[in-house]
Amino acid sequence: MDRTLRLKAPFLEGEASRLRMGDRVLLSGVIYTARDAAHMRMQRAIEEGGRPGIDLNGAVIFYAGPAPARPGAIIGSVGPTTSSRMDPYAPSLLDLGVKAMIGKGYRSDPVVDSMKKNGAVYLGVAGGIAALLARTVLSSRVADYEDLGPEAVRRLEIFEMPLVVLIDSLGNSLYREGPAKYGRED
């Protein structure tokens, strides 16, 4: 049976492992946005023997580049980007403690294998709801790579961002198994 769970980020040890494909999540707490350019920089730091400039222990990374905020707003629209573009970098970040990724679209087998190895999950939102997601953001600030502008890593404090578990830590995928489980017969 699918569940709706209220969770806080960063995740505590073992928390992501308890989530199952199809679970609905209302996520609150601190998450980080990062897109292609930020992922390339984090990967370079790792390859050079360093670490990214954010704490990845239990972290949730949202594959998004928020639009500029209008006057008086905390953040502009913030919607997911295609996750597969981050697939070359995801295993390294999962090995360093990332427990959840938020995005849209399929993930490669190496990423799913790394999720299983590290007890992590892939959460998703439907495209086209960026304005709604912006309403869940309580605060936003640049956390790293400010020179990247909209692709800078941002630290967001969120309240009850609506998500679904697309791939759980066992490798169960809504993309593969969902049609049989949730499809309807006419």
In a domain, 83, yes or no: yes
In a domain, 184, yes or no: no
pLDDT tens, 34-45?
999 999 999 999
In a domain, 121, yes or no: yes
**Catalytic annotation present for 146:** no
Is the dihedral angle over the CA atoms 48, 53, 55, 59 positive or is it negative?
Answer: negative
- Which of 44, 62, 50 has the alpha carbon at shortest distance from 153? 62
Query: 183: pLDDT confidence band, cut at 50, 70 and 90?
Result: low
Burial of 14 (0-12, 13-18, 19+ CB in 10 A): exposed
Q: What is the mean pLDDT of residues 96-104?
A: 96
Number of domains in the chain: 1
In a domain, 128, yes or no: yes
In a domain, 106, yes or no: yes
In a domain, 112, yes or no: yes
**pLDDT at residue 153 in the model:** 96
Among residues 35, 39, 99, 107, the one annotated as catalytic is 39
In a domain, 8, yes or no: yes
In a domain, 186, yes or no: no
Q: What is the mean pLDDT of residues 99-127?
A: 95
Query: 31: pLDDT confidence band, cut at 50, 70 and 90?
Result: very high
- The domain containing residue 92 runs over which residues? 4-179
Residue 68's domain is classified under what CATH number?
A: 3.20.130.10
Close Cβ partners of 134 (under 8 Å, ≥ 6 residues apart) = 66, 73, 74, 75, 76, 77, 78
pLDDT tens, 134-164?
999 999 999 999 999 889 999 999 999 999 9
Is the dihedral angle over the CA atoms 145, 40, 19, 126 positive or is it negative?
Answer: positive
